[in-house]
């Protein structure tokens, strides 16, 4: 049997990766989140997938690695290797426009502003628009939320609380 | 084996691990639900950083150990964390004051370490810097709230800063181990971090109406394995399960 060309293998692997979701943000797959970084197809067709954690202590990472292995096996790459990289560090900049739209549709405000910039310690926070009603009259309730990647906000217009995807 | 790099990575991993464990002790006990979640989240970040540093240390050592083996199967004398991070939590004021003093240092430290000539080390520092920056904003804001709050919260915050101050000197020590790595471009000279840390701390203390203690005699020894009584108790709890049930999995 002729082996499929490397480009075709790579396409099928990326396709399989879009079926893996971050358990903490079920609506997003790991490709549009920027967690799946690289697909390497070796000379003999061996496959390696490189993933990176959103946060150092992200508890979802081991589950994601297991799910990646399973999705690849289902796509016919049972021998694929899954490896972890810390560099370059994940940033919310890698969320695709599609991912940002999906976050908003789930009631999670997407990140605002420039990550990595040294915000003044007590400088003005970013203006975060309410994902329910669009109002910009919102306030931060807590720096940290139910998962490592979220903070908690409240809308002063519609009075609904909502999650904000932290900008890093 | 690169003994210098191994020992240096242990220092960073151990400080993150022990502080992460201390913060996790607040889980279910913090003054508000939001604070409970915040402290647990910071604990998680620090534990993740510890996992990365200890994992790299194990790789450098090349003896087949991993991050878990280093975390759970070393005794107190083999730990190389800063004394600051092993101190018991006491009250919320001391926990926040300690966190801020450490976060402000970590921001400067990681910023410098991100320029390490060792790409693996630089990558961990760059990753940790984003988290440390976020943590400092939280601990700094809370220190201001406590210092510039009620008479009671002010008094407790000031007492915490006074008590902790003698433990801050260790963050800027540059012993032979660090000096050797500075020469190879792997580590920054820790003495060089002091001025920028001082400026960060002075800003927040002023905003918090807290008095900066004078630099005097400083505690030392944690980085060389000389610890206080508290660390032994912490390890007894943290290491119990893997020691009692070696190889346990879930
Ligand atoms: Zn609203």
Residue A2 vs residue A18, higher pLDDT:
A18
Task: State which fold the A6-90 domain adopts.
Answer: GMP Synthetase; Chain A, domain 3 (3.30.300)
Inter-chain CB proximity B203 and A121 less than 8 Å: yes
Task: State which fold the B3-244 domain adopts.
Answer: Ferritin (1.20.1260)
* Rounded distance between C-alpha atoms, residue A102 and residue A109, angstroms: 10
Supply B62's token pair.
Answer: 């090349």
Please state, rounded to an integer, the average pLDDT across all residues of chain B. 97
Per-residue pLDDT at A117 exceeds 80: no
User: Minimal Cα distance from A84: which residue of B?
Assistant: B52
Q: What is the pLDDT of residues B151-170, one digit of tens each?
A: 999 999 999 999 999 999 99
CA of A155 to the centre of ligand 1 (A): 5
* Rounded distance between C-alpha atoms, residue B57 and residue B73, angstroms: 14
Domain spans of chain A, in order of start: 6-90, 95-165
Inter-chain CB proximity A143 and B128 less than 8 Å: no
Residues 60-119 of chain B whose Cβ lies under 8 A from any Cβ of chain A: 119
Please tell me the predicted confidence (pLDDT) of residue A116.
Answer: 47
Please tell me the predicted confidence (pLDDT) of residue A124.
Answer: 59
Please tell me the predicted confidence (pLDDT) of residue A120.
Answer: 46
Picking from A64, A121, A167 by the largest number of B CB atoms within 10 A of its own CB, the best residue to mutate is A121
Domain spans of chain B, in order of start: 3-244
The sign of the torsion formed by the CA atoms of A50, A51, A52, A56 equals: negative
Contacts of A85 in chain B (CB under 8 A): 123
Q: What is the pLDDT of residues B199-230, one digit of tens each?
A: 999 999 999 999 999 999 999 999 999 999 99
CA of A137 to the centre of ligand 1 (A): 8
Peptide bond into A88 cis (omega under 30): yes
pLDDT tens for each residue of chain B, 250 residues long: 999 999 999 999 999 999 999 999 999 999 999 999 999 999 999 999 999 999 999 999 999 999 999 999 999 999 999 999 999 999 999 999 999 999 999 999 999 999 999 999 999 999 999 999 999 999 999 999 999 999 999 999 999 999 999 999 999 999 999 999 999 999 999 999 999 999 999 999 999 999 999 999 999 999 999 999 999 999 999 999 999 998 888 7
* Rounded distance between C-alpha atoms, residue B64 and residue B79, angstroms: 19
């Amino acid at each position: 049997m002729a082996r499929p060309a490397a480009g075709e293998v790579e396409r099928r692997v990326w396709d399989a990766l879009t079926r893996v979701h971050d358990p903490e943000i079920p609506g997003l797959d790991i490709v549009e989140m920027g967690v799946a970084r690289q697909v390497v197809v070796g000379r003999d067709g061996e496959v390696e997938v490189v993933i990176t954690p959103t946060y150092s202590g992200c508890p979802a990472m081991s589950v994601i690695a297991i799910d990646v292995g399973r999705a690849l096996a289902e796509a016919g790459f049972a021998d694929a290797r899954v490896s972890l990289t810390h560099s370059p560090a994940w940033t919310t900049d890698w969320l695709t426009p599609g991912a940002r739209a999906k976050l908003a549709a789930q009631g999670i405000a997407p990140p605002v502003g420039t990550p990595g910039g040294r915000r003044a310690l007590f400088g003005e926070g970013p203006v975060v628009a309410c994902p329910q009603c669009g109002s910009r009259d919102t306030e931060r309730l807590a720096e940290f939320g139910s998962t490592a990647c979220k903070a908690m906000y409240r809308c002063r217009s519609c009075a609904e609380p909502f999650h904000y995807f932290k900008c890093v | 084996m690169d003994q210098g790099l191994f020992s240096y990575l242990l220092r960073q991993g151990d400080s993150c691990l022990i502080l992460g464990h201390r913060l996790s002790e607040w889980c279910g006990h913090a003054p508000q639900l939001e604070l409970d979640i915040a402290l647990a989240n910071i604990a998680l970040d620090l534990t993740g950083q510890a996992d990365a540093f200890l994992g790299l240390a194990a790789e450098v050592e090349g003896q087949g150990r991993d991050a878990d083996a280093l975390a759970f199967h070393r005794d107190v004398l083999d730990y190389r964390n800063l004394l600051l991070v092993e101190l018991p939590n006491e009250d919320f004021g001391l926990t926040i004051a300690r966190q801020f003093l450490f976060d402000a240092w970590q921001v400067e430290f990681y910023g410098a370490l991100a320029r390490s000539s060792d790409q693996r080390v630089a990558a961990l520092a760059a990753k940790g810097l984003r988290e440390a920056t976020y943590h400092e904003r939280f601990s700094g804001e809370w220190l201001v709230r406590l210092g510039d709050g009620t008479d009671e919260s002010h008094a407790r915050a000031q007492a915490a800063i006074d008590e902790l101050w003698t433990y801050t000197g260790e963050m800027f020590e540059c012993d032979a181990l660090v000096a050797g790595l500075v020469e190879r471009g792997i580590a920054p000279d820790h003495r060089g971090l002091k001025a920028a840390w001082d400026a960060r701390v002075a800003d927040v203390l002023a905003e918090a109406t807290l008095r900066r203690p004078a630099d005097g005699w400083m505690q030392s020894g944690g980085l060389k394995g000389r610890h206080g009584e508290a660390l032994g108790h912490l390890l007894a709890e943290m290491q119990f399960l893997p020691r009692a049930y070696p190889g346990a999995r879930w």
